[in-house]
Copies of this chain bind each other. A is one copy, B any other.
Amino acid sequence: MLAEIIAVGSEMLTPHRQDTNSLYLTAGLNDLGVSVAFKTIVGDNRKHLTAAIRIALHRADIVLLSGGLGPTEDDLTRECLAEALHLELHRDEALLNGLHHRFAARNMAMPPNNARQADVLAGATLLPNTNGSAPGQWLDTTFEGFRKLVILLPGPPKELKPLFDNACKQRLAATLPKNHLARRILRMALIPESQVDARTAPIYQQFPDVETTILAGRAEIQLHFLCVKPSLAEAEARVDAVLDLVSTEMGEDIFSFNGESLEEVVLLMLGVRNHTLAVAESCTGGWLGERLTAIPNSSRVFLGGAIAYSDCSKTALADVPSYLLEEHGAVSDPVARALAEGIRRRTGSTLALAITGIAGPAAIAHGPDAAKPVGLVYIALTDGEDTQVKQLHITGDRERVRLWSTQHALEMLRHYLQ
């Protein structure tokens, strides 16, 4: 079964707007064993849209359309689909009353144009939209002698996603051959994609019935395993089999087995080990703190820290002695060490991380750090007894140096906690 997704809307043909609905719909279709073979993006243009629908009906079994169900003259999806399939549109009285009620509830008269949202294709089933005024439509029909499923969905993601989940997936599952899906995600930080592929390909290639995808994310690599079988037990057994072998191969490089983020894993481990954490950040300027506090309940183990960006703030907020800054420069092993130890003492945390480095784009012009290269970063981790310091050379632009610095700090902490 092949699907095509058509995203309707002229704004998606500008440099500013992307069709993102299709990623969500693709995930849902894949879960049901349906592959997406084509995606088309077309503007609010009657001739273009009608032709694009005909092309999709020719080459796909399932056609999903998103957008163009609103009340304005530009919203043409219903009309174009009726034209492409030579079907009548009729105005649904119950829907029309509902629209009038929506406006009446806000003490407004309904503009006549809005009545078009009550137009239904002959033979279509209405899919209730609890987050907007235009319902979806489901059409099980034939085109040039072949059976086709056509699904109309509203464009706004807040309307489309629940409507697809609640009104379409069950219906699709009932229509399609029965299948069960198992999925697992492994995540690894700070390792090149080519190395992950070289080490794991000999394993996952022995499992042709498990779809394996390697994704390079932001300073991490994800391995997605997906298997569709007539029974759930069978699908899970296959995914678990490849997962076991890959886990043995990659070992401690794997930070998460079920998709959790590195921040979540580290916060969980801190809690389990009864630790608290503070940070002192120079070149990352608060990014490490931002990442940790993005996770709800991080306050259980994360106390806070210093954005020790200037030399004076390193001294004022983390008690870095000025002679260290003068002798070694802010980007140095002794200053990283002093930042971690200082912020730990100040906050009373059990553990502390510090980051100091040269993020670029330019090297530092004068002073004790002047000769040091862009990308040089020191990370320190202390538990009050021992302090480890790592020296790194991170390639890339300012954003990459900063992001990878936070990732290295989290990985250093994870390995310590393991």
Contacts and interface: CB of A to CB of B under 8 A. Distances in A.
Given A15-B27, A307-B306, A347-B313, A284 B278 contact: no
Contact of A294 (B30, B38, B402): B402
Interface string A280-315: 010111111110111010110011111111101110
A173 interface: no
A215 interface: yes
B43 A40 contact: no
B292 A398 contact: no
A42 B38 contact: yes
A347 B12 CA distance: 47
Interface residues of A, number: 72
Contacts of A12: 39
A278 B310 CA distance: 10
Interface string A189-207: 0000000000000000000
A279 B37 CA distance: 51
B306 A16 contact: no
A37 B45 CA distance: 9
Given A304-B317, A346-B317, A285 B293 contact: yes
Contacts of A310: 299, 302-304, 347
Contact of A286 (B35, B36, B281, B314): B281
- Interface of chain A: mostly helix, strand, loop or mixed: mixed
Nearest to A279: B307
A116 interface: no
A348 B38 contact: no
B39 A41 contact: yes
Contacts of A290: 284-287, 290
A193 to B, nearest CB: 13
A258 B161 CA distance: 36
Interface string A52-78: 100100010000000000000000000
A15 B32 CA distance: 13
A219 B378 CA distance: 34
Interface string A394-405: 000011001000
A48 interface: yes
A408 interface: no
A346 B6 CA distance: 57
B303 A289 contact: no
Residue of A215, A306, A360 with most chain B CB atoms under a 10 A cut-off: A306
Interface string A1-31: 0000000000111111110100110110010
A244 to B, nearest CB: 23
A15 B26 contact: yes
20 contacts: A11-B213, A13-B26, A16-B215, A16-B224, A18-B18, A37-B43, A37-B45, A38-B41, A39-B40, A55-B55, A289-B307, A293-B402, A294-B398, A298-B309, A303-B309, A305-B309, A306-B307, A310-B347, A316-B347, A317-B317
